[in-house]
């Protein structure tokens, strides 16, 4: 019987780059649409990227789904958060009662919502239970989880995307909920980017200055105790990461396998995207960046991914809020592209670039 790692490696080997010829065709078609050339700016590039992802001359964005990965992190024992980890389960359930910002935003964006328990410390009645373990261990004193557990969560993310794509989902957005996950994300970022913890660690959901010092110290100790290998993304994830990050990395990889765009949310989602890219570099072409979080490493992570965010909103909520906020813009750009007449249709002389 194949191990989980063998199964993951087989799937990673199947990821192919986006079809750049469709991107070129899309950009050429934009120049025939009856409006000033390049006047929708980066929205035109966005649609061209989606065409390259979907191998289609017409982008398909009607069926959208946000996947929120929920998990708990043992590092909260180090006093790195404002609240206890019981809040993870409370907020996970609130998604179902429209008591979160993101669930309300999903209604406005026409986006389906799936809330996944990938590793919460408690069971909740309505989340989709795909739990690997009941929360990770304290990374400041020992590995957060085993390598096999981390891989299992990645495989879960891949399989969720495969299933939803098979039932018609065309574009995915990523979100997370897990008290302590800016600590795990900062730890991963520090290792993968090769920078000191203080350069990538922020206040999360509102830490005091003393709390920020504890957070940086916990990350520094975690890296020293566990010695994660920066050249082995799975080792980094298992030793200092979280299950929500692992599940989201799987969502990004699954999007590439299923030729579906996946929207990066904020810092935590972007860290998962970077892990996915380190595992399969070609998957980065399937990612769309929504915004830049206020966390210190957000811009660094997007640079490492080769991405520019499309929104400038100073958002720092997480939970998929930034990713969902981008979806209406995608829909509007796709509608213009798919439905607006060309210069020939409206009997206007085609615009040409001027020197």
Positions marked catalytic: 319
In sequence order, the β-bridge partners of residue 114 are: 67
Nearest Cα to 265, choosing from 129, 85, 105? 105
DSSP state of 168: T
Distance CA 281, CA 91 (A): 33
Contact 323, 264 (CB under 8 A): yes
d(CA 160, CA 259): 14
Burial of 273 (0-12, 13-18, 19+ CB in 10 A): buried
User: DSSP secondary structure string, 205-233?
Assistant: TT--HHHHHHHHHHHHHHHHHH---TT-H
| Backbone region of residue 117 per phi and psi (left: phi > 0; alpha: psi in -120 to 50; beta: other values) | beta
- In what side-by-side order are the strands of the sheet with 287-289? 128-129, 111-119, 64-71, 171-177, 262-264, 287-289
Burial of 15-53, coded b for 16+ CB within 10 Å and e otherwise, reads beebbeebbebbbebbbebebeeeebeebbbbbbbbbbb
Q: Are 188 and 275 in contact (CB under 8 A)?
A: yes
- What is the 8-class DSSP label of residue 281? G
């Amino acid at each position: 019987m194949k191990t989980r790692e063998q199964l993951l490696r087989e799937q990673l080997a199947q990821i192919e780059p986006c079809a750049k010829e469709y991107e070129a065709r899309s950009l050429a078609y934009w120049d025939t649409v009856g409006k000033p050339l390049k006047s929708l700016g980066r929205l035109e590039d966005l649609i061209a990227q989606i065409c390259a992802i979907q191998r289609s001359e017409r982008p398909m964005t009607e069926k959208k789904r946000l996947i929120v990965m929920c998990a708990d992190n043992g590092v909260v024992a180090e006093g790195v958060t404002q609240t206890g980890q019981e809040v993870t389960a409370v907020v996970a359930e609130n998604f179902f009662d429209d008591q979160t910002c993101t669930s309300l935003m999903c209604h406005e964006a026409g986006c389906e919502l799936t809330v996944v328990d990938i590793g919460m410390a408690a069971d909740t009645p309505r989340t989709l239970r795909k739990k690997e373990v009941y929360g990770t261990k304290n990374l400041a004193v020992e590995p957060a989880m085993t390598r096999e557990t981390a891989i299992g969560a990645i495989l879960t993310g891949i399989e969720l995307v495969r299933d939803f794509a098979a039932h018609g989902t065309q574009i995915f957005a990523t979100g997370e909920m897990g008290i302590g996950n800016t600590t795990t994300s900062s730890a991963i970022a520090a290792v993968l980017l090769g920078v000191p913890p203080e350069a990538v660690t922020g206040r999360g959901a509102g830490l005091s200055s003393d709390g920020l010092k504890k957070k940086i110290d916990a990350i520094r100790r975690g890296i020293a105790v566990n010695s994660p290998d920066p050249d082995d993304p799975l080792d980094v994830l298992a030793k200092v990461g979280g299950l929500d990050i692992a599940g989201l990395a799987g969502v990004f990889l699954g999007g590439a396998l299923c030729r579906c765009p996946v929207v990066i949310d904020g810092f935590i989602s972007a860290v998962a995207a970077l892990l996915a890219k380190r595992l399969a570099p070609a998957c980065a072409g399937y990612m769309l960046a929504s915004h830049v979080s206020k966390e210190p490493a957000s811009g660094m992570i997007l640079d490492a991914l080769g991405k520019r965010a499309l929104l400038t909103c100073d958002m720092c909520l997480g939970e998929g809020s930034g990713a969902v906020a981008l979806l209406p813009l995608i829909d509007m750009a796709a509608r213009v592209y798919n439905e607006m007449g060309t210069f020939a249709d409206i009997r206007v002389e085609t615009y040409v670039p001027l020197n």
